[in-house]
Chain A
Amino acid sequence: MSGIGITIVALALGTAALKLVGPLLLGGRSLPAPAMGVIELLASALLAALVVVEAFGHGRSLTVDARALGVAFAAIALLLRAPVTVAVLGAALVAALARAI
C-alpha cells in the first residue's frame, strides 16, 4: 500500500477508535461530577486552540497574514450576529481581497 493509502487507513481507524472508546467502555455510567465539569468546558478550550493553530500557524511558527485577516472578519461578523454562512464565506472573500491588493 502507498504511503497515502496507509495514512488514510490509519486515520480512519484511529479516528473511529477515539470516538468509540468512551461510549463502548463507559456505557451508560456517569462520570464523577468534577469530570463532568471539565468536559463541559473542553469544547471551548479545544476549539479556541484549533482556531489559533489553523488561523495563525505556519508549520512551527505563528504568522499574521491574509488568512488571519479573513478569520478576523469572521469573528467580527459573528459578533455583529451575522449568519454562520456569511461569516465563513466572507472570511475567504476578505483573504482573497487582501492577497489581491
Chain B
Amino acid sequence: MTATRSPERTDSERARFRAGVRRGVPFGVAVFAIAVSYGVLARPVMGSGAPIVMSIVVFSGAAQFGSLAILAAGGSVGAAIAAGLLLNARYLAMGLGLAPSLRGRPLSRAAFAMAIVDASWAAASRGDGTFDPWYMVGVSALQYPGWVLGTVVGVLAGSALGDPRALGLDALFPAFFVALLFEEVRGRRKVVAAAGGAGIAAVLTPFAPAGLPILAAAAAAIAASRMRP
C-alpha cells in the first residue's frame, strides 16, 4: 500500500506535501478520537488546563498516556518524566534515521525533525533507509490540530461522557498503533523485527520500569537486520 501511494522523488515539494496530507487524513481522524480519550482520562488527574497545554507542547501520545498512568497511580513526578522520556526514546532513533535525508540549514532541519510522529515517519520511509521529508510533514499536518482539538473536546466533554473505560476509550490508542504496524510491516525482515520486538516487550514488562521494554525492543531490529532480505 505504501509503495503505490507514495510520491516519486521527482515530484515537487508541494506535490509531495499534498500527497502526505491526503495519506494523513485517516490518521488525523484516529488521532482526534484518541486525543478525546486522553482529555477524558487526564482531566480528573491533571485538571482542565494542564492536559491541553501538554498536548500543545509535548504532542506525543506515548509520553502523555505513559506519564498519566504513573501520575494517576500515585507515582512520583520523576517516575512520570522518566517513563515518558523512555517511551519517546524511539524518536532519537527515528531522528537519526531521518537526518541523512534532510538538507538545508540547521533551523530547517530542526523544523522537519519536530514534525516527526510515528505515523508520518513510518509512511515517509522509502524502504531503502531514506525518507521523503515533505511527505512526512504532510502526513503529520492534520495530526497536530487533531491531537490538540481532541484533547480540548475530551477535557470539556469528559464529565458528560461518563466512565471512559465503559466507552472502551482505552482501546483506541493501542488499536491505532496496530494500524501503524500494519502500514509499516512489509517483508520477512520487518515481520521478524516486529515479532521479536513484541516478544521482548512481553518478557521484560514484569521486570523493567515503564518504557524500557519498548526501548529494548530495538534489539530485535538489530538482529533482524542481519538476516538476508
Compute how far the CA of A7 lies from the CA of B121 in the bound complex, rounded to whole angstroms.
26
Q: Please, which residues of chain A bring their CB within 8 A of the CB of B190?
A: 41, 44
Does B156 count as interface, using CB distance less than 8 angstroms? no
Once A23-B110, A71-B178 are accepted as A-B contacts, the answer to whether A99 and B206 lie under 8 Å apart by CB is no
**Which residue of chain A has its CB nearest to the CB of B79?**
A7
A35 to B128, alpha carbons, bound, how many Å? 12
B195 an interface residue at 8 Å Cβ cutoff? Answer: yes
Q: Which of B13-21, B101-109, B147-155 contacts A (4 or more CB under 8 A)?
A: B101-109
The 0/1 profile, CB within 8 Å of B marked 1, for residues 41-63 of chain A is 11111111111111111011110
- The answer to whether A91 and B172 touch across the interface, beta carbons within 8 angstroms, is yes
Is chain A's binding surface mostly helix, strand, loop or mixed? helix
A8 touches B53 (CB 8 A): yes
Q: Report if B157 contacts A (CB, 8 A).
A: no
**Closest A residue to B224 using CB positions:** A41
Q: How many A-B residue pairs have CB under 8 A?
A: 322
Contact in complex: A52, B205 (CB < 8 Å): yes
Q: Is the interface of B mostly helix, strand, loop or mixed?
A: helix
Contact B30 A38 (CB under 8 A): no
- Residues of chain B within 8 A (CB-CB) of A18 are 85, 88-89, 91-92, 95
Select B222's contact among A38, A91, A94, beta carbons within 8 Å.
Answer: A38
- What residues of chain B have their CB less than 8 Å away from a CB belonging to chain A? 26-27, 29-30, 33-34, 37, 46-47, 50, 53-54, 57-60, 62-65, 67, 71, 73, 77, 80-81, 84-85, 87-100, 102-103, 106, 109-110, 112-114, 116, 118, 121-122, 125, 127-129, 165-182, 184-185, 189-191, 193-198, 200-202, 205-207, 210, 213-214, 216-222, 224-225
11 A–B contacts, CB within 8 A, in A order: A20-B113, A23-B109, A23-B112, A37-B129, A41-B193, A43-B94, A45-B219, A46-B218, A47-B197, A48-B217, A54-B173
Q: Which residues of A contact B (CB under 8 A)?
A: 3-12, 14-16, 18-31, 34-57, 59-62, 66-67, 69-71, 73-75, 78-79, 83-85, 87-100
| Extra inter-chain contacts (9) besides given A7-B67, A45-B217, CB under 8 Å | A9-B57, A30-B100, A44-B191, A45-B193, A46-B218, A48-B198, A53-B201, A71-B171, A96-B166
